[in-house]
Amino acid sequence: MNDTPMAQEIEAARAYEALFVPSLFRQWATPLLDLARVATGDRVLDVACGTGILAREAQPRVAPCGLVVGLDAMGGMLEVARELDTEILWRQGDAQQLPFEAEAFDAVLCQFGLMFFIDQPAALGEMHRVLVPAGRLAVAVFDGLEGNPAYAREVALLERIAGPAAAEALRAPFVLGDATALSAMAREAGFEDVAVTTRQGIADFPSITSLLEADLRGWLPVMGVHLDEATIQHVLSQAQVELGDVIDPHGRAVFEVSAHLLSGRRG
């Protein structure tokens, strides 16, 4: 078994693609692309692209003469992205120091990545820099845990059984829940016509176990938290009881998720 850091990153990225993309993330691609009015011939940058679902959905919209670039800091994510699509240009880099010239893109997108940047205003400033005049921005972030009660309960479960590091890793996606603050951040970065809309989506996992395993085996390792198997099994067992009310008649774990969609344009 290959236990190098890159091998672990790739394994986590494959779990992310298999577990999260179909159950949670794919549904947001179309609304974001519509918000940014992505069309034939556009040059599009997907910041924090992960395994590339948003970039892959953008590619047919810009064809035959446009360009899609996916950027991520994690090499493992990009390795899986390259396996899935060879037409898109995949680049490794820092969202807070984008490796592109000014005014290089017609649209910049970021799907559930802004929450994890150390300097979020700097990242938005970089997105503004690489857009052409009147270029479009579209960003998705999760609402706070108060708007996502199923995940709030999962955080509490992890805190109790797996400890504070695991709980903090699961809290991380929900730190930009204040829509007013999010709008202000975009305006301070120079964007005009800034708007934030809150939209409800559906998390639809094959089972409670797959929901929790997506986080325990797919998300926590991406955040650098690796639980031992005994702890994972304990969490899975308790989740059957504590999150049992989200199980639908077919045995799937189905519940609403709330996200903010931020849009703006470079003046």
22-54 pLDDT tens trace: 999 999 999 999 999 999 999 999 999 999 999
- Would you place residue 131 in the very low, low, confident or very high pLDDT band (cuts 50, 70, 90)? very high
Predicted local confidence at residue 129, as pLDDT = 98
Close Cβ partners of 146 (under 8 Å, ≥ 6 residues apart): 152, 177
192-246 pLDDT tens trace: 999 999 999 999 999 999 999 889 987 898 788 999 999 999 999 999 999 999 9
SS (H, E, C) 18-74: HHHHHHHHHHHHHHHHHHCCCCCCCEEEEECCCCCHHHHHHHHHHCCCCEEEEEECC
Flag whether pLDDT at 3 surpasses 80.
no
| CA pseudo-torsion sign 174, 116, 20, 6 | negative
Q: Which CATH architecture has domain 1-142+176-199+259-266?
A: 3-Layer(aba) Sandwich (3.40)
pLDDT exceeding 90 applies to what percent of the chain?
A: 90
DSSP 216: I
Flag whether pLDDT at 1 surpasses 90.
no
To the nearest whole number, what is the mean pLDDT of the chain? 95
Flag whether pLDDT at 8 surpasses 90.
no
Q: List C-alpha distances in Å: 237 to 7, 168, 226.
A: 29, 21, 18
Query: pTM of this prediction?
Result: 0.93
Flag whether pLDDT at 56 surpasses 90.
yes
The domain locations on the chain are 1-142+176-199+259-266, 144-175+207-251
Predicted local confidence at residue 178, as pLDDT = 97
Q: Token pair for residue 65?
A: 């003469």
Predicted local confidence at residue 218, as pLDDT = 79
Predicted local confidence at residue 2, as pLDDT = 62
Predicted local confidence at residue 67, as pLDDT = 97
Q: CB burial class (10 A; 0-12, 13-18, 19+) of residue 31?
A: middle
Type and span of the H or E element at 9: helix 5-20
Q: Average pLDDT in the 74-93 region? A: 96
pLDDT exceeding 70 applies to what percent of the chain?
A: 99
